[in-house]
Structure 1
Amino acid sequence: METPRPSRQILVVEDSTEVRRAILRVLEMEHYSVQQAEHGRAALKKLEAMTADLILSDINMPLMNGIEFYKELRKHPSWTPIPFIFLTANDAPEDIQAGRE
C-alpha cells in the first residue's frame, strides 16, 4: 500500500490562462496543492496569505514580470528560502542570463 505524501504548496505565476491551467492539471494529478497568480504583483499578494514550498514563474508577464517578481521576492527574508523556477518559451540569451543572475 502506497503511503500518501504530504501536500506541498506550489505557487504558479503565469499570465496565460491556458498554460496556467495545463500546469495546474499536471501538478494536481500529482497531489500538489496549487495556488495561482497572473503576474508578479498578484503573486506577492498571494504569498502574504500562504506558505509556498516552490514557485514556478513565467518571465514575460504584464504589470510585474518574472525577473522583477524574483528580485522583489528575495527582499523578504521569510521568502528567500523558497525554491524558484523560471518557466518560459523564450530562449533569448538575455532572458537566460537574467534568470541566472
Structure 2
Amino acid sequence: MTASILTVDDSASIRLTTRVALSNAGYTVTEAVDGKDGLAKLDAGQFDIIVTDLNMPNMDGLTMIRELRKLPAHTGVPVIFLTTESDAEIKQQAKAAGATGWLTKPFDPESLVKIVRKVLGR
C-alpha cells in the first residue's frame, strides 16, 4: 500500500515540485495552500506524513502543527518542515510543536524523497 502525504505550502511552484517528486516515488499526494487548508484536509482524511512550509498566510506551519497535535487521530503523524528558515530558535520551536524533521529550501527533490522514505521506514 502506498503512503498518503499531505503537502502544505502557499507557493504553487513548491507544491508542484513537491507533488512531482513524491508522486514519482510512488506516494499519493494531497495539496493544501496554507495551515487552515491543511487542517481542513486532515479533517477529510488520514495521512501517513505531512510536509509543510513554515511561513504561510492565514495559518503558519507552526500553528498548524500545534493544532494538529491536539487532534487524537493525528497526534503521531510525522511532520517534515520544508522552509527557507534555518534559524536554530525556529527549529527548536518546530521540534517543540511536534515536527519530526527539517529540509531547507531550495531543496533537491531527491533529498525530500529520501527524508520521507526514512521517516516512513519504507
TM-score normalised over the length of structure 1:
0.90
SS of equivalent residue, structure 1 residue 78: helix
Aligned: 1:27 with 2:22:
yes
SS of equivalent residue, structure 2 residue 84: coil
Q: Give every structure 1 segment of 4 or more consecutive aligned residues whose post-TM-superposition deviation is greater than 4 Å.
A: none
Q: Please give the residue correspondences for 1:45-64 in structure 2 after superposition, counting only pairs within 5 Å.
A: 45-64=40-59
Cross-structure match for 1:84: 79
Counterpart residue type for residue 45 of structure 1: A
Aligned residues: 96
Cross-structure match for 2:13: 18
- Identity, in percent, stands at 38
Cross-structure match for 2:35: 40
Counterpart residue type for residue 40 of structure 1: G
Bigger drift between 83-92 and 36-45 goes to 83-92
Q: How big is the alpha-carbon RMSD for the aligned residues of Structure 1 and Structure 2?
A: 0.9
Aligned-pair CA distance for 1:93:
2.9
Larger radius of gyration: 1
TM-score normalised over the length of structure 2:
0.75
Cross-structure match for 2:88: 93
Cα distance between partner residues in 2 of 1:98 and 1:76: 19
What whole-Å deviation, never above 9, does each CA across 1:43-75 have from its counterpart, x for those lacking one? 111011111000001100010000000000000
Aligned-pair CA distance for 1:92:
2.3
Cross-structure match for 1:71: 66
Cα distance between partner residues in 2 of 1:92 and 1:16: 21
SS of equivalent residue, structure 1 residue 22: helix
Aligned-pair CA distance for 1:94:
2.7
SS of equivalent residue, structure 2 residue 71: coil
In structure 1, the gaps of 5 or more residues are 1-5
